[in-house]
Amino acid sequence: MSTDIQTLKSLDFFADLNFGELEQIAPLMHLMKVTEGEVLTRKGELARTFFIILSGNFMLSFKEERSFTLHNKGNIIGLSTVVSPFRYTGTAIALTDGLVLLMQGQEFLRLIQSNSALGDKIMRKINKIVSERMPYMTGAWGERRH
Amino acid sequence: MFGFEAIIAHDGVGISVIGISIVFVGLVLLSFAVSRIHKLIELWDKKNTSYQRVKKSQQKDQKTLSVSDLTVPQDVRRASRQFKLLIEWMGEPFPLPKLLDLSRKCGLSSPHSTINEFIKCKLIIPDENGYYIWNKQLEEKRSST
């Protein structure tokens, strides 16, 4: 368990969380091996799982086949698990073998709703990532670029 | 019993002859070894120079390898020809999922990881609109080296 907390602590997404909050999250996160070509999320499907990349390379594609790639530890896939209408806005494919941490969307949502301080910290991070990725999702390119 | 009588009675002559011959043989061997030292030194020098020569050539090989690594790995170079044809057929800027799909349909080996390599070595670069372009500048630089 302490190893899990250490792993979570090393991720930028959880950087603002204290030890007690990380202790709440750690049992909900599970390690999963990913192989080249594996599809993690499909556009339009119910968003059931939230992923954090530990290693590997991934491609996220959105409408009109706009896409970007993720290569860094701590990058997030499956933000739609906590954002209405809870359907994936993009398709995520593993470009190489890798490791991800995953959490069931319902558990993640329950955690955010049950602990307002924790929820606030996490939603702030999610909002930041969503705003960065918004042009890819909508196709409307503002001043912000990913 | 004293003097020579005692020496003869206790095989002293034989013992001293053996002793003298042992010392003599030892000295002969030692002088022979000393006379051959220059040969040994020559051998040692040769060994060192040849070892250094081998080491230098290995370092040179490593250096040349690392120089090519800085640009594009060999297997990626080979694969790039096939992918470039697909990109030319699609036109630029191209959507990455389409390239992936086409390369899969064409039966290219490990298209996901190959495309990832292209992106990592900046042979394929994003156009800031969600699409990608083939990095001609890098390719030209690569072919000129």
Could you tell me the CATH number of the domain that includes residue A77? 2.60.120.10
Who has greater pLDDT, A146 or B115?
B115
Contact partners, residue A95, CB within 8 Å, separation at least 6: A36, A56, A57, A58, A59, A69, B112, B113, B115, B116
Closest Cα in chain B, distance from residue A82 (Å): 24
Who has greater pLDDT, A82 or B145?
A82
Q: How far is CA B116 from the centre of its chain?
A: 28
Question: Is A14 a member of any domain?
Answer: no
- For A67, the closest of B110, B128, B130 (CB atoms) is B130
Question: Inter-axis angle of helices B74-90 and B111-120, to 10 degrees?
Answer: 100
- Written as one letter, the residue type at A105 is G
Predicted complex ipTM: 0.83
Q: Does B109 touch chain A (CB under 8 A)?
A: no
Question: Is A113 a member of any domain?
Answer: yes
Q: Does A36 touch chain B (CB under 8 A)?
A: yes
Residue appearing with tokens 């043989």: B25
Question: Is A19 a member of any domain?
Answer: no
**pLDDT confidence of residue B108:** 87
pLDDT over 80 (residue B30): yes
Question: Which residue range forms the structural domain that includes residue A76?
Answer: 31-138
**pLDDT digit string, tens, across residues B39-83:** 888 888 877 777 777 777 777 666 554 444 445 666 777 788 888
Residue B18: phi, psi to the nearest 5?
Answer: -60, -45
**pLDDT digit string, tens, across residues A84-107:** 899 999 999 999 999 999 999 999
| CA gap B126, A16 in Å, rounded | 31
**pLDDT digit string, tens, across residues A38-88:** 999 999 999 999 999 999 999 999 988 999 999 999 999 999 998 889 999
Q: How many domains does chain A have?
A: 1
Q: Does A59 touch chain B (CB under 8 A)?
A: yes
**pLDDT confidence of residue A142:** 56
Question: Is A11 a member of any domain?
Answer: no
CB A76, CB A100: distance < 8 Å? no
Question: Is A128 a member of any domain?
Answer: yes
- Could you tell me the sign of the dihedral formed by the alpha carbons of A61, A67, A71, A75, in that order? negative
Q: What percent of chain B has pLDDT over 70?
A: 87
Q: Does B131 touch chain A (CB under 8 A)?
A: yes
Label residue A5 by pLDDT band (50, 70, 90): confident
**pLDDT digit string, tens, across residues A14-24:** 999 999 999 99
Cα of first residue to Cα of last residue in chain B, in angstroms, is 99
Question: Is A58 a member of any domain?
Answer: yes
Question: Is A101 a member of any domain?
Answer: yes
Q: How many CB atoms lie within 10 A of CB A109?
A: 18
Question: Is A64 a member of any domain?
Answer: yes
